[in-house]
Chains A and B, each alone.
Chain A
Amino acid sequence: MASFELIEPQSVEEALVALDSDDPAVRPMGGGTALMLMMKAQLFAPTRLVSLRGIGGGFSGFSLSGDGETFCIGAMTTFSELEQSVEIARHLPVITQTMKTLANVRVRNVATVGGNLAHGDPHLDLPPVWTTLGARVRIIGQSGERVIPVEELFVGYYETSLEPGELIAQVLVPVRPDWRSFYAKVTTRAEHDWPALGLAVSVLPEGERIADVSIVLSAAVDRPTRLVNAENVLRGSVLCDEVLTRAGEAAVAETDIETDNRGSSAYKKQLLRVHLGRAIRKVMGA
Chain B
Amino acid sequence: MSTTRTIRFTLNGRAVAADVAAGETIVDMLTLRFDLKGARESCGQGLCGCCTVTVDGMAVSGCLSMAWFLDGTSVETIEGIGTGGALDPVQEAFIEAGAFQCGFCTPGFIMMVRQLLDAHPDPDDEEVRHYLTGNLCRCSAYPEILTAVKLAAAKRKKLAA
State the A residues within 8 Å of B (CB): 1, 3-7, 32-33, 36-37, 39-40, 49, 51, 53, 80, 100, 103-107, 109-110, 191-192
Contacts and interface: CB of A to CB of B under 8 A. Distances in A.
B2 interface: yes
Contacts, number: 76
Interface of B: 1-3, 5, 21-25, 44-47, 49, 52, 58-61, 64-66, 68-69, 112, 115, 130-131, 133-135
B-side interface mostly: mixed
20 contacts: A6-B22, A7-B2, A33-B64, A36-B65, A37-B46, A37-B64, A49-B22, A103-B46, A104-B133, A104-B135, A105-B59, A105-B115, A105-B131, A105-B134, A107-B61, A110-B60, A110-B61, A110-B64, A191-B133, A192-B134
B112 A105 contact: yes
Contact of B3 (A5, A33, A191): A5
Nearest to A53: B69
A116 to B, nearest CB: 14
B2 A109 contact: no
A36 B66 contact: yes
A100 B134 CA distance: 12
Nearest to A6: B22
Residue among A1, A7, A80 having the largest count of chain B Cβ atoms under 10 Å: A1
A67 B37 CA distance: 53
A3 B3 contact: yes
B23 A4 contact: yes
B65 A107 contact: no
A32 B64 contact: yes
A38 to B, nearest CB: 11
B64 A3 contact: no
A104 B49 contact: yes
A98 B98 CA distance: 34
A107 B112 CA distance: 13
A106 B52 contact: yes
B22 A106 contact: no
A80 B60 CA distance: 12
Contacts of B1: 5
B60 A109 contact: yes
A40 B46 contact: no
A6 B4 CA distance: 8
Contacts of A105: 59, 112, 115, 131, 134
Contacts of B24: 1
Given A40-B45, A106-B49, A106-B59, 6 more contacts: A4-B22, A51-B69, A103-B134, A105-B59, A106-B134, A110-B65
A100 B129 CA distance: 11
A107 B69 CA distance: 16
A104 B58 contact: no
